[in-house]
């Protein structure tokens, strides 16, 4: 690998003694107290006061009636997707998913955990292209998708990197087409959105809503997630399914397929200790985003965008996108990449490699789902309608694919809320050097 440490462009920059992370857990001490409480009271199980408390506190914070604490955001998304499938298409046989034989419109530029539950439930994901304004699902492409597949009744939508998507538009489109929404707010806990003139939290915008407490999230339990809803019936069902669908009988009695998805009271102790720090973490992440924006303003790059009038992101990850005319050559295979430096230009992998050489962690933009080998044969809808089969050997520039473009030109910057301003200035200097 190329040695950035001896490259004269980086002269005077020293590697970080301890690694600067993309986004690592930030403990405050209160977590220990609640974990100890669980152990001392012997509630070392999937029942206990910590679970009850995190459910109460998160429901109150986000502004929903019910929160169901689960083992992961992925578990929450699975149960949310299954609830939607059952509502739309009825109960499935135990060996079949609720979405069998049905298409579901899905965010394309997201982590695959958002949309894998569609496959768990035997549904077929149709990926909806991204828009440049917020890097989330394009409402216009969604409208095109309903033209192509008017029978679709479910949309899974994520808020990437903590930036709210255009849910007002997406909700209106879904309402017109009688479709339900599963909202994936795993990355955006604490982000606010102006919905029809009212500020609300992400995690309240769908018919079924999910958050995550994964170790890299804005607050964490080491793992964990939640299903959020105003429906008592849905909350009760999710809780039942998450505890192996046990019926009220003295023995193990089962009417429905179940899962072992409930949150542990130990994990809930960590989450309970983190909740009081959510707003502090958001403020730190925001300061990081703004410091990057200021520090990088003279380079041919832009930060990940958001609609300042209609949303307040939680700024979970700071990202940049390189202007097209400042992109140095870079190619990617499925597992490897190659790039070349050109004066005044750079590429995501040059910047990521340079950052890594100085002991800091960045990451490529989440690779869009329609480009993933596993989903390469699934439909993909863009502003132009069907996004498959739009390229042409004889017409250059044919085929809009916003997600692929952001993936190609963008990257996630070290965004750890323990990163000091001095450390961040070094990262900014490294990025500047990349463009020399």
Provide the minimum distance between the beta carbon of 217 and ligand PLP in the complex, in angstroms, as a whole number: 7
Query: How far apart (Å, rounded) are the C-alpha atoms in residues 322 and 44?
Result: 49
Burial pattern 416-432, b for ≥16 Cβ within 10 A else e, equals bbebeeebbebbbebbe
Provide the minimum distance between the beta carbon of 159 and ligand PLP in the complex, in angstroms, as a whole number: 8
Burial class (CB in 10 A: 0-12, 13-18, 19+), 202: buried
Residues in 83-112 that interact with ligand PLP by CB under 6 A = 110-111
Residue showing tokens 């295979």: 333
Provide the minimum distance between the beta carbon of 69 and ligand PLP in the complex, in angstroms, as a whole number: 12
Closest by CA to 76, choosing from 199, 158, 160, 170, is: 158
- For residue 226, give every residue at least 6 positions away whose Cβ sits within 8 Å of its Cβ, in sequence order, or none: 54, 55, 58, 67, 68, 69, 70, 73, 76, 210, 211, 213, 263
Provide the minimum distance between the beta carbon of 125 and ligand PLP in the complex, in angstroms, as a whole number: 14
- Measured in degrees and rounded to the nearest 5, phi and psi for residue 59 equal -60, -45
Provide the minimum distance between the beta carbon of 29 and ligand PLP in the complex, in angstroms, as a whole number: 23
Nearer to ligand PLP, 104 or 113 (CB): 113
Closest by CA to 210, choosing from 106, 69, 101, is: 69
195 forms beta bridges with 198
Provide the minimum distance between the beta carbon of 55 and ligand PLP in the complex, in angstroms, as a whole number: 16
Nearer to ligand PLP, 50 or 114 (CB): 114
Provide the minimum distance between the beta carbon of 215 and ligand PLP in the complex, in angstroms, as a whole number: 8
Provide the minimum distance between the beta carbon of 156 and ligand PLP in the complex, in angstroms, as a whole number: 10
Which x/- pattern, by CB under 6 A, does the window 350-389 give for ligand PLP? ----------------------------------------
Residues in 206-225 that interact with ligand PLP by CB under 6 A = 212, 214, 225
Is residue 114 a contact point for ligand PLP (CB under 6 A)?
A: yes
Nearer to ligand PLP, 187 or 350 (CB): 187
Query: How far apart (Å, rounded) are the C-alpha atoms in residues 188 and 224?
Result: 15
Query: How far apart (Å, rounded) are the C-alpha atoms in residues 424 and 358?
Result: 12
Query: Is 72 in a helix, a strand, or coil?
Result: strand
Residues in 184-203 that interact with ligand PLP by CB under 6 A = 184, 186-187
Which x/- pattern, by CB under 6 A, does the window 62-81 give for ligand PLP? ----------xxx--x----
For residues 186 and 210, the answer to whether their CB atoms sit within 8 Å is yes
Which x/- pattern, by CB under 6 A, does the window 135-164 give for ligand PLP? -----------------------x------
DSSP string, 31-50: HHHHHHHHHHTT--SS-SHH
Nearer to ligand PLP, 10 or 225 (CB): 225
Instruction: Select the residue whose beta carbon is closest to ligand PLP and give its number.
Output: 73
Provide the minimum distance between the beta carbon of 186 and ligand PLP in the complex, in angstroms, as a whole number: 4
Which x/- pattern, by CB under 6 A, does the window 166-185 give for ligand PLP? ------------------x-
Nearer to ligand PLP, 158 or 282 (CB): 158
Is residue 430 a contact point for ligand PLP (CB under 6 A)?
A: no
Q: Count interface residues toward ligand PLP (CB under 6 A).
A: 15
Nearer to ligand PLP, 180 or 263 (CB): 263
Burial class (CB in 10 A: 0-12, 13-18, 19+), 4: buried
Nearer to ligand PLP, 121 or 143 (CB): 121
**Following CA atoms 126, 132, 134, 136 in sequence, which dihedral angle do they give, to the nearest 10 degrees?**
10
226 forms beta bridges with 69, 211
Please, how many CA atoms are within 13 Å of residue 82, restricted to the half-sphere of its CB?
Answer: 28
User: Which residues of this protein are in contact with ligand PLP, per CB under 6 A?
Assistant: 72-74, 77, 110-111, 113-114, 158, 184, 186-187, 212, 214, 225
């Amino acid at each position: 690998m190329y040695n950035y440490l001896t490259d004269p462009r980086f002269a005077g920059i020293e590697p970080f003694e301890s690694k600067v992370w993309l986004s690592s857990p930030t403990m405050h001490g209160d977590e220990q107290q609640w974990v100890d409480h669980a152990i001392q009271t012997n509630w070392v199980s999937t029942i206990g006061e910590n679970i009850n408390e995190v459910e109460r506190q998160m429901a109150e914070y986000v502004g929903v009636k019910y929160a169901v604490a689960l083992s992961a955001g992925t578990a929450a998304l699975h149960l949310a997707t299954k609830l939607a499938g059952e509502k739309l298409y009825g109960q499935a046989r135990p060996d079949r998913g609720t979405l069998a034989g049905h298409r579901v419109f899905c965010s394309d530029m997201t982590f695959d955990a958002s949309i894998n539950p569609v496959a768990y439930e035997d549904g077929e994901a149709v990926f909806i292209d991204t828009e440049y304004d917020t890097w989330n699902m394009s409402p216009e492409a969604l409208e095109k998708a309903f033209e192509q597949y008017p029978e679709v009744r479910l949309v899974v939508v994520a808020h990437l990197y903590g930036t709210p998507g255009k849910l007002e538009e997406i909700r209106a489109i879904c309402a017109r087409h009688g479709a339900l929404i599963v909202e994936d707010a795993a990355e955006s806990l604490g982000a606010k959105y102006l919905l029809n003139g009212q500020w609300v939290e992400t995690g309240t915008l769908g018919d079924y809503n999910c958050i995550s407490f994964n170790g890299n999230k804005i607050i964490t339990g080491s793992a964990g997630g939640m299903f959020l809803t105003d429906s008592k019936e849905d909350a009760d069902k999710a809780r039942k399914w998450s505890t192996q669908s046990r019926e009220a009988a003295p023995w193990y009695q089962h009417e429905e397929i179940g899962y072992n998805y409930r949150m542990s009271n130990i994990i809930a102790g960590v989450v309970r200790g983190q909740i009081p720090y959510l707003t502090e973490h958001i403020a730190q992440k925001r300061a990081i985003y703004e410091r990057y924006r200021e520090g990088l303003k003279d380079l041919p790059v832009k930060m990940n965008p958001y609609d300042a009038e209609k949303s307040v992101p939680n700024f979970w990850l700071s990202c940049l996108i390189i202007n097209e005319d400042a992109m140095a050559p870079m190619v990617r295979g499925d597992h490897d990449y190659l790039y070349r430096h050109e004066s005044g230009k750079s590429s995501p992998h040059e910047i990521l490699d340079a950052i890594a050489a100085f002991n800091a962690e960045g990451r490529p933009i989440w690779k869009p789902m329609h480009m993933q080998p596993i989903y390469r044969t699934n439909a993909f809808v863009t502003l132009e309608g069907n996004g498959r089969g739009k390229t042409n050997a004889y017409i250059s520039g044919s085929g809009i694919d916003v997600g692929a473009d952001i993936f190609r030109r963008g990257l996630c910057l070290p965004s750890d809320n323990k990163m000091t301003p001095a450390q961040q200035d070094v990262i900014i200097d490294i990025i500047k050097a990349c463009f020399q």
